[in-house]
Amino acid sequence: MKKNLLLLFIMNLLVIQIYSQTATSIANGNWTSPLTWNCTCVPTPGYTVIINHNVTLTTSFAYTTGSITINSGGSLIQDATPRDIWVNGGSFSNAGTVDLHYLWTQTGTMANSGTISLRSFLNYVNFTNSGTIQNLDSLYTTGNITNNGSFLNIDSITNSGIWINNGICTFNQFTSTTQFTNNNLLTYTDITNFGTMTNTDTITCLNSTWNRGTWNNQSGAYVSITNDILNNNPGLFNAVFNNNGKVVVTDSWYNLDTVKGTTGSWTVGDTSSNTGKMLGTFDFCDLSHSPTPPIIDFNTGFIAPGITWCQSVGIIEPELDQFNIYPNPSNSKIIISTGETGTFHVKLYSLDGKLLSEFKNQNEVDVSGLKAGSYLVNVLTQSRNIMKVIFVVK
């Protein structure tokens, strides 16, 4: 009987050892080479994998237990064949560099304080990003994301979770169906908002904005829209844009539902149309219209008597197209034309949010010393706060 119990105990130890074995990199090499790991083995699902070197992923990997940890200075990079990782339990943590085809975090935990480059990212877990996630063709998330770092150059993104942006996000086609809160810098080309969008800082739209849900632009916050904005949820009439900050629309403004606010202001460069409701005491200024109130091109809706017309800066603001940064792209210098007189400040950022340089009342900025790539230029004048993307070429 004692022998049987001892044998059972030893077998249990062996099982625990198998499913909790640790593999730590000891050299640069392929994932499938035993010489890469201190165990002289090839890590399989269930291992605790620790990467301190440059490891090439030569096979796709899926696990329900165990973990993969890439420490600072380490990397996990796919070979010539696109490689995928599926996390369905366990953990994935990166403080180094990751370059993969596809990452699916279904269950378990995830953390990133390094740099992750992917083609596609499907995320179901809650995590905080304090590093950089970049160059994705598509990102779909139902998990809750707190971004204290950067999401850069994301082509197509759908947010169906709760996203809090305390860092920098640059998206192309952006769809949000639930909650997105921007507390720093968000840049996108086009957006359709079905959920609740809250802005406390700066949003730059490079093309068009369509609000079909609730948009809260809080006091002191700024939204710049290069082309058009449409506030409308067809058939439901529950699109609400609550603006207590400042919104500048270079082209056209269309409201078919509800726009409201108490301390906010709108500046529109071209067409303005209201067939819905304008409620509250916000200020509205259509630069293409005569200065006789109501300063709006087409109105068949309701305008509250408390709405003011071009009162936010005392006069109609200068034409938005007088602001320009050129040449863009550039390999030597950029010239900033604000279209205004008075003091202005310029800050130049990398896409990960690092302040590279800042100037006061300087129209020419030397960019010849920068590496080729994209950068953010923030220009603050007495009446506007504008964020533009510039491209440096070599």
Residue pLDDT, tens place only, 202-253 = 898 988 999 999 999 999 899 989 889 999 998 777 899 999 999 989 888 9
What is the average pLDDT score of the chain?
Answer: 87
Indicate whether 316 pLDDT > 70. Answer: no
Residue 330 confidence (pLDDT): 81
Give, as one character, the DSSP assignment of residue 345.
E
Of the listed ranges 24-28, 219-223, 265-269, 352-356, the least confidently predicted one is 352-356
Find the distance separating the first CA and the last CA of the chain, reported in whole Å. 79
pTM of the model: 0.78
For residue 394, what pLDDT is reported?
66
Would you place residue 106 in the very low, low, confident or very high pLDDT band (cuts 50, 70, 90)?
very high
Whether 285 has a pLDDT exceeding 60, the answer reads yes
| 253 beta partners | 229, 272
Q: Phi and psi (nearest 5°) for 281?
A: -135, 30
What pLDDT score was predicted for residue 48?
96
Among candidate residues 271, 198, 263, the one with its CA nearest the CA of residue 229: 271
**80 in Cβ contact with 98 (< 8 Å):** no
pLDDT confidence of residue 18: 43
Q: Is residue 320 over pLDDT 50?
A: no
pLDDT at 1: 46
Least confident of 218-227, 286-295, 360-369: 286-295
Give the per-residue pLDDT at 198.
98
Residue 28's pLDDT band, with cuts at 50, 70 and 90, is very high
Q: Which of 1-15, 83-97, 119-133 has the lowest mean pLDDT?
A: 1-15
Whether the CB-CB separation of 87 and 107 falls below 8 Å is answered with: yes
Dump pLDDT digits (tens) for 3-26. 454 444 334 433 444 445 999 999
Grade residue 353 by pLDDT with cuts at 50, 70 and 90.
low
